[in-house]
Chain A
Amino acid sequence: MSALAVDALRKSFGKLEVLRGIDLEVAEHEVVCLIGASGSGKSTFLRCVNLLEPIDEGRIVVAGEEITARGIDVNRVRRRIGIVFQAFNLFPHMSVLRNVTLAPRRALGLSRAEAEERAVELLERFGLADKRDEYPDRLSGGQQQRVAIVRALAMRPDLMLLDEVTSALDPELVAEVLNVIRELAEAGMTMVIATHEMAFARDIADRVCFLDEGVILEQGPPEQMFTAPLEPRTQQFLQRITEAGRL
């Protein structure tokens, strides 16, 4: 059974059709990277999988359960799917520890002690133990994004969605966040990662999907995708990236 199966997913914003029939299957423990130009639909796709955007057509199945079925409890679905955003979106009025314990306590019903134990364990694992009582505005961008990842992990999700999580970071802070993701991949976390970090995608992905105008135009193992893409559009995209010195 695949961790995620998306079938003919379509999504429009007004007249603009952003996703024009996406099919994607992700196996358990698989890391799939989505690449493609801005506006190709990567973020919208991830938001649809987390049910943050209602879809127009198609089906999304997570671990055998169709989450786009009518009458599904979206809160229960979202507890199993973690998402990390480009802009961190930490809660600015809460300390790091409260950011991380809020959902386990309120959505999973953990006691404060249980939630804090879980949070501290994760914060220690990702080198953030000394930041537990800080507020987000006292942290660097890289630290904020690592806290955001920990916050999602505290729900013990089966699937993690990462939406260009290093795009808002200063260049020198990118590595610390990528290392966290690498560690997650090594631990066997199933992940779908939208990214502009091509070297990273090549290194970490089991499979790379190239999105173009709302469809997955081409997909394959990273070596093949980055060295011998078949589609002219993929070649063109990767060429531009190479010219910009990003590969």
Chain B
Amino acid sequence: MTEPTPLGSRRSRILGGPRSEGARSALIAAVSTIVFFGLAVLLVTNAPGWPEVKRSFFSAEQFRDSFPDIVEAFGLNIRLFLVAEVFILAFALLLAVMRSVPGAVFFPLRLLATAYTDLFRSVPTVLVIYILGFGAPTLQLSGVPSSPFFWGVTALVLVYSAYVAEVYRAGIQSVHPSQEAAARSLGLSQPQALRFVILPQAVRRVVPPLLNDFIGLQKDTALVALIGPVEAFRQSQIEVAGSFNYTPYLATALLFILLTIPMARFTDWLIARNRRRELAAGGR
């Protein structure tokens, strides 16, 4: 058995420079960052149009006036996101499993799932939202809500499930066939092997790319504004229309950034942790 730690450190030395110079590289990084961003700020603030830009995009007064309303509207983005996320996780898993079922009999199932993922990954999200948001309520289906919130969520679920299904499928395929053989050899049925042996391993492996897709989903909740609901982006448009000052757009952007950064760092942390674990287990 090889020891995992030397392998890990050897690798990071190759990729990231020798460890003994850690303090020095931190200093260089800090100085370089300050110089780089200092120059960038100087360049922008000395541009001829800067006073004009500052007035229309960075107005503190406008920010104070519009921010509470935008924050309130942003609650709708979060609701859209959370509701869509739950359905995406379940529906995409179903699609991925459909595509992974072996056997000639299940060809139509695989075909259906493949066609679905192809279709919804190729049509722009904004079009799906438009078509469903304006088209579906016109059908006046009984028992189906006609609210833009409902159809907005539906559109997001349809589109994102196609992406997430592919992520799940990659996870399923990454589990070595010998795991399935081991499960089946013990007398477990195909669905049991999938449920108890393959899916738990597959899902664990794809958590980081899943979170990555959800960062995309958080942003795309703004597209639902196009069919009516007043979420943060729509609210900022309203504010801008009233004042001809663009600061509310920046306020909205700030909110999305605040929501995304923790998720992005969490994803990075998960990836790093998985990597450590794989290096630790890879010694065998």
Q: How far is B195's CA from A106's CA once the two chains are assembled, in angstroms?
A: 11
Looking at the complex, which one of A81, A85, A137 makes contact with B280 (CB distance below 8 Å)? A137
B20 nearest CB across to chain A (Å): 31
CB contacts (< 8 Å) of A19 on chain B: these are none
B147 nearest CB across to chain A (Å): 41
Query: Of A25-33, A72-80, A177-185, which binds chain B?
Result: A72-80
A84 nearest CB across to chain B (Å): 9
Q: How far is B182's CA from A170's CA once the two chains are assembled, in angstroms?
A: 22
B78 nearest CB across to chain A (Å): 32
**Known contacts A85-B182, A140-B1, A170-B1: A92-B187 contact under CB 8 Å:** no
What is the interface residue range for chain B against chain A? 20 to 34
Q: How far is B284's CA from A76's CA once the two chains are assembled, in angstroms?
A: 33
- A11 interface contact, C-beta 8 A: no
A103 with B186: CB separation less than 8 A = yes
B178 with A102: CB separation less than 8 A = no
Contact with A along B175-189 (1 / 0, CB 8 A): 000110111111111
CB contacts (< 8 Å) of A75 on chain B: these are 184, 187-189
A144 nearest CB across to chain B (Å): 8
Interface of B is mostly: helix
A191 nearest CB across to chain B (Å): 15
CB contacts (< 8 Å) of B178 on chain A: these are 85, 87, 89
B187 with A93: CB separation less than 8 A = no
A interface residues, how many (CB within 8 angstroms): 30
B182 with A76: CB separation less than 8 A = no
- B216 interface contact, C-beta 8 A: no
CB contacts (< 8 Å) of A59 on chain B: these are none
**Known contacts A91-B179, A92-B201, A93-B200: A141-B284 contact under CB 8 Å:** yes
B281 nearest CB across to chain A (Å): 4
A173 nearest CB across to chain B (Å): 10
B186 with A137: CB separation less than 8 A = no
Looking at the complex, which one of A82, A87, A91 makes contact with B197 (CB distance below 8 Å)? A91
- A208 interface contact, C-beta 8 A: no
CB contacts (< 8 Å) of B201 on chain A: these are 91-93
B196 with A50: CB separation less than 8 A = no
A3 nearest CB across to chain B (Å): 18
Q: How far is B188's CA from A107's CA once the two chains are assembled, in angstroms?
A: 5
| B residues with CB within 8 A of A | 1, 178-179, 181-189, 192, 196-197, 200-201, 204, 280-281, 284
| A residues with CB within 8 A of B | 47, 50, 52, 74-76, 78-79, 81-83, 85, 87, 89-93, 102-103, 106-108, 137, 140-141, 151-152, 155, 170
| Top 7 A-B pairs, shortest CB-CB distance | A79-B187, A103-B186, A89-B182, A107-B187, A78-B187, A137-B281, A83-B185
